[in-house]
Amino acid sequence: MRKKMLKNVEWWILVCAIILSIIGCVALFSATQESNYGEFKKQIIWLVVSIIIMIIVMFIDYEVLVKISPILYGIGIILLIGVLFTEPINGARSWIGFKDFSFQPGEFAKIFVVIFLAYALSKIQEKGREEINKPLKLLICLGIVAIPVFLIILQPDYGTAIAYIFSLVCMLFVSGLDKKYIIVTALIIVISLPILYLYVLPEHAKTRIDVFLNPESDARGSGYNIIQSKLAIGAGQLTGMGLLKGNQTQLGFLYPKTTDFIYAVIGEEMGFIVACSIIILYVFLITKAVYVAKTAKDNVGSYISMGIAGIFLFHMIENIGMTMGLLPITGVPLLFVSYGGSSLITSFISVGLLLNISSKRQKTIFVK
């Protein structure tokens, strides 16, 4: 039985995650030479820890995790509330720290919310898939995500908040949600965007949008990072300037080069070929996650897989988009590649869940 389960596992998901992590470690090695490779060494440790946790998650039946998901969700909410009482770092209360160790509750809460939302959707649809189209039932699902999103906005961390929403949209899309809700939501977003910009967004968020539209308007201030990022990516050309040889990376013009702008480091020092390979690996990874959702043995497995696929998709689009000047800067990391223990562990937990679900797949459940 165990051999059959391992045979069903979508191993290419793990292969993509490992390759992305290796590329990230190589980039961190180059980007941290002036600091005695401190972050690079920590990332190696976090990578080993992440793989161990992934293996544990892979062999715990995901149905067990679904059953305890209300508890996990509650823990996530408590952590998100607790982090609001910590000291801000770089203007945001996103970390809970103990001496030399700190973590981001918002990263771990992503997984808790996805699993609990999948549980809620499956319970709602026990009487039929059309149950999700009843306003009260749909509001329950929206509320599950709205609570953590609100708490994350208070930190403030708009990028992570959008990741939750992106995941929600993907899960509702495959749950049989009526198209009228999708159309109405799209109209509300279009109408509300200018209102949010004028009356809701804080000044620093408005500044980021203004700089995105015209970085040269504040080339030495808010537009500095994006200009340097674009210069770095352009300088790499086809094969890159070589490890430890990137001008923007090594001379300190690119910041923060180990997290938000790690893709710019890769573009400058490894070139277009490697930078493009990262996009290809991500597309392949997301495609495989969707395939796992399509072939999951039950609805709850399908919803979890789609939620994870949504998180991966958003992080890829937003991080790469912002480093190239195509999207506003939000501080969203490039999963598996950027420096950060919380992000890396959460990413490999997601991989573990996908491998877990794929090992038990039996049939296609998407309704045509």
Confidence (pLDDT) at 147: 95
Write phi, then psi, for 133 (nearest 5 degrees). Answer: -85, 0
Confidence (pLDDT) at 367: 44
Average pLDDT of the chain?
Answer: 88
Q: What share of the chain has pLDDT > 70, as a percent?
A: 96
Paired tokens of 142: 């929206």
> How confident is the model over 335-359, as pLDDT tens digits?
999 998 999 999 999 999 999 999 8
Q: Summarize the confidence of residues 105-109 as an average pLDDT.
A: 92
Amino acid residing at 154: L
Paired tokens of 127: 């009487």
Q: Summarize the confidence of residues 110-122 as an average pLDDT.
A: 95
Q: State which of 18-32, 134-148, 209-223 shows the largest mean pLDDT.
A: 18-32
- Upper half-sphere CA count for residue 261 (Cβ side, 13 Å): 28
Q: Summarize the confidence of residues 184-199 as an average pLDDT.
A: 78
Q: Summarize the confidence of residues 130-137 as an average pLDDT.
A: 84
Q: Which alpha helices (DSSP H) does the chain contain, by range?
A: 2-8, 11-31, 38-59, 62-67, 69-82, 105-124, 135-153, 158-173, 179-195, 203-213, 224-236, 247-250, 262-295, 299-323, 341-359
- Give the number of other Cβ atoms within 10 Å of residue 211's Cβ: 23
Amino acid residing at 202: P
Confidence (pLDDT) at 368: 39
Is residue 198 scored above 90 in pLDDT? no
The structure's pTM equals 0.91
In this structure, of 10-19, 184-193, 236-245, the range with the lowest mean pLDDT score is 184-193
Is residue 366 scored above 50 in pLDDT? no
- Using pLDDT thresholds of 50, 70 and 90, give the confidence band for residue 4: low
In this structure, of 155-169, 172-186, 231-245, the range with the lowest mean pLDDT score is 172-186
Exposed e or buried b per residue across 99-127, where buried means at least 16 C-beta atoms within 10 angstroms of its C-beta: eeeebbbbbbbbbbbbbbbbbbbbebbee
